[in-house]
Amino acid sequence: MKSLDSKEKIAQRAAKEIRSGTIVNLGIGIPTLVADFISRKKEVFLHTENGLLGVGPSPSEGGVDPEIINAGKLPVTAQKGASYFSSSDSFAMIRGGHVDTVILGALQISESGDLANWAVPGKNILGVGGAMDLVAGAKEVIITTQHCSREGEPKIVRSCTYPLTAKNIVSTIISEYAVFRFIDNKMVLMELAEGWTVDQLKKITPAEFAVSKSLSFF
């Protein structure tokens, strides 16, 4: 079996967060990879905001239905028991708190749980999609992200310098090196990657965080 790259490792860890019997919306990028790691023993219903509850696996080459896509505009399938609905109904599910867990990527996350994941300063802002609706409505917001940007800049920061998607809404951050949870508005390190120390993590994490008494490794 080939070893997982850092994105797959994040997705694998995120899949463990998903509880059986829940409704989950997966964003574009690393979150999309999470679907492949969800244990088959769990009954999970994937929601996609363009109007499908019960997203199934990617179709085989011959099995593509051009009218079944996900929010990333990629072909998907519909599981048994799936339903289709309009955009306003889809976002009523999201805004109304009927979706349990949303997993999204990030440009920056702050120590107070603010999220920035839609716009880069200084560039024309021409796309927001459903991110602001998803985080405003979901019961739980899990961020899957590489710990630093491609340029090596830390993404988990004291306060976001990029335009916000929403304030104080992140529940959990999962990177290739760490799992943080927001507990009573404080960011707490719960898990650390094998072979890493808290001091090493602090060097690439400007955000202030507490360390859980039950810190474990993954």
Indicate which residues carry an active-site annotation: 49
Is residue 126 at the binding interface for another protein, with CB under 8 A as the rule? Answer: yes
Of 99 and 189, which CB lies nearer to another protein in the complex structure?
99
Between CA 27 and CA 49 the distance in angstroms is 10
Rounded-to-10 torsion of CA 16, 17, 18, 23: -160
The encoded tokens of residue 114 equal 């603010």
Q: CA dist 7 to 37, 38, 98, 173, 202, Å?
A: 12, 15, 28, 14, 21
User: Is residue 117 within 8 Å of residue 110, measured between CB atoms?
Assistant: no
Selected binder of another protein within 4, 64, 78, 204 (CB under 8 A) = 78
User: Rounded to the nearest whole angstrom, what is the least distance from the CB of residue 141 to another protein in the complex?
Assistant: 13
DSSP-derived 3-state class of residue 150: coil
Residue 28 near another protein by CB under 8 A: no
Selected binder of another protein within 64, 69, 188, 204 (CB under 8 A)? 69
Number of chain residues interacting with another protein (CB under 8 A): 41
Q: Name residue, tokens 């574009």.
A: 28
Q: Does 120 bind another protein (CB under 8 A)?
A: no
136, burial (CB in 10 Å: exposed 0-12, middle 13-18, buried 19+): middle
122 is an interface residue for another protein by CB under 8 A: no
| 86: contact with another protein by CB under 8 A | yes
Closer to another protein by CB, 90 or 101: give it. 90
Q: Is 111 in the site for another protein (CB under 8 A)?
A: no
Which chain residues interact with another protein by CB under 8 A? 48-52, 65-69, 71, 73, 78, 84-88, 90-92, 94-95, 119, 124-133, 136-137, 163-167
